[in-house]
Amino acid sequence: MSKMEVKNIRFVVKRWDPKDGRFFESEYTVPVYRGMTVLDALIYIKENIDKTLAFRGSCRMGVCGTCGIVINGKPRLACETQILHLNTDTVYLEPLHNLPLVKDLIIDHTPFFEKQNKIKPYLIRRDMEEYWNPTREYLQTPEEHLRYMQFTYCLTCALCYAACPTTATNPDFLGPQALMNTYRFIADSRDEGRLERIAIIDNPDGCWGCHLAGACSEVCPKGVDPALAIQLLRREVAKIAFGYVEPVEGAKVAPSLQLTEKRITKGPPEFTVEGAEEKLKEFKIPKTIPVEKSK
């Protein structure tokens, strides 16, 4: 299909009516061109067919995570799903499952964020003076960073929450995102609140509610892999349950700027390779490379 060719695709949208408290369906036919996303189609419907259709979307490039909806039975980001890649003549759209509804395709993220806040998604430190009045950054090696880096890519789009079969039957289950975030902070070398967080998630509504269906990782648009984080989190919880508690000392604060300045004022290190000076003379290599001046 060339760029300008258009194919008519039928969109069936499952909408929530907050006044009557019921679902109803609306059908629209949208001319689809190559590269057109579901979010583009929703904007087209809103502008040209039905102005009452409510949906959410912002960045249009898979960064903000607000346009998450269920497309043909699977939670996806509307802005990252190309319609022609779905290979169907009819596209079914629904609001994200397992979350309270606001209107049409819009859902309320409140329980999702409340659960995320439960696990204290911030660094917990014992050095309170440094914590509230920071002087420098905490030191961390690239290897230490890689231990949790994958999990920081989360958009909080709630696709994993909508796909999780445990969340579908247990409204109190923390959900893949909150559990993944717990491991993200436990694995962070700067954090000292491991036991505090484990006390929150070590229950059937926490990490033991997961039964490894892997649906959360399957739908994640950023490759964050919450299933992996939850299994690694359970390993940490099991270690503590068996009495294998490693002493955790958070990363140290970087040396003060004053020291760094002193180091810079020392100048470059001395030329210490033996015989190098003679070699330079022998090959007539100048110590400084002359710069050609433009005419």
Partner 1 sequence: MFAKRERKYKSTPNRLGVKGWYGSLKYNMEKYLYLLHRITGVGLAAFVILHVILMSSRMFGEEAYHQIHGLLMNPYTDIGMVIVTAALLFHGFNGIRLLLHEYGILFVRPKRPVYPYRVSVKSSGVRLFTILMIILAVLFFIPVLYEYIIIWW
**Residues near partner 1 (CB under 8 A):** 16, 21, 23, 72-74, 95-101, 107, 111, 146-151, 153, 163-165, 167-169, 171-172, 187, 210-215, 217-218, 220, 222-225, 227-229, 231-232, 234-235, 238
| Cβ-contact 53, 13 below 8 angstroms | yes
| Cβ-contact 158, 181 below 8 angstroms | no
Q: How far is the CB of 168 from partner 1 (least distance, A)?
A: 2
Q: How far is the CB of 124 from partner 1 (least distance, A)?
A: 21
| Cβ-contact 49, 129 below 8 angstroms | no
Q: How far is the CB of 41 from partner 1 (least distance, A)?
A: 20
Q: How far is the CB of 115 from partner 1 (least distance, A)?
A: 9
Helix or strand (DSSP H, E) at 40? helix 38-44
Q: How far is the CB of 246 from partner 1 (least distance, A)?
A: 16
User: Is the Cβ of residue 221 or residue 250 nearer to partner 1 in the bound state?
Assistant: 221
User: Is the Cβ of residue 43 or residue 200 nearer to partner 1 in the bound state?
Assistant: 200
> Order of strands across the sheet with 6-17?
22-33, 6-17, 90-94, 68-71, 74-77
User: Is the Cβ of residue 232 or residue 254 nearer to partner 1 in the bound state?
Assistant: 232
User: Is the Cβ of residue 55 or residue 151 nearer to partner 1 in the bound state?
Assistant: 151
| Cβ-contact 141, 77 below 8 angstroms | no
User: Is the Cβ of residue 74 or residue 120 nearer to partner 1 in the bound state?
Assistant: 74
Provide φ and ψ at 85, rounded to 5°. Answer: -75, -15
| Cβ-contact 49, 28 below 8 angstroms | yes
